[in-house]
């Protein structure tokens, strides 16, 4: 219900706080579609890299842990390079 979320005048005029990292303030200067594309690409790169490190470079095991079939996981690997 609206009354459960009180909004004061100061919260309406304050700029939102932007987290650092993949969603840094530099994305706010881009159109939404481009900022979204870059954020997704950054997430995919970091995720694939992390899973590959955890699996010692074993693509089949990394794909299993990611819940993807190996061909889709390999596509993500190639996409990030």
In this predicted model, what pLDDT tens digit does every residue of 4-59 receive, in sequence order?
555 554 444 444 454 555 457 788 999 999 999 999 999 999 999 999 999 999 99
Q: How far is CA 48 from CA 5, 52, 65, 69, 76, in A?
A: 38, 6, 11, 13, 7
Is 4 inside any structural domain? no
In this prediction, residue 25 carries a pLDDT of 79
Is 50 inside any structural domain? yes
The tally of domains found in the chain comes to 1
53: containing domain: 25-81
The average pLDDT across 55-64 equals 97
Is 53 inside any structural domain? yes
The average pLDDT across 60-80 equals 95
Is 14 inside any structural domain? no
**Is the entire prediction scored with pTM above 0.75?**
no
């Amino acid at each position: 219900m609206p009354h459960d979320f009180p909004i004061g005048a100061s919260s309406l005029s304050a700029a939102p706080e932007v987290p650092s990292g993949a969603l840094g303030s530099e994305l706010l200067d881009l159109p939404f579609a481009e900022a979204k594309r870059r954020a997704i690409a950054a997430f995919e790169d970091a995720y694939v890299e992390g899973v590959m490190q955890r699996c010692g470079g074993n693509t089949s095991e990394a794909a299993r842990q990611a819940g993807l079939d190996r061909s889709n996981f390999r596509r993500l690997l190639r996409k990030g390079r």
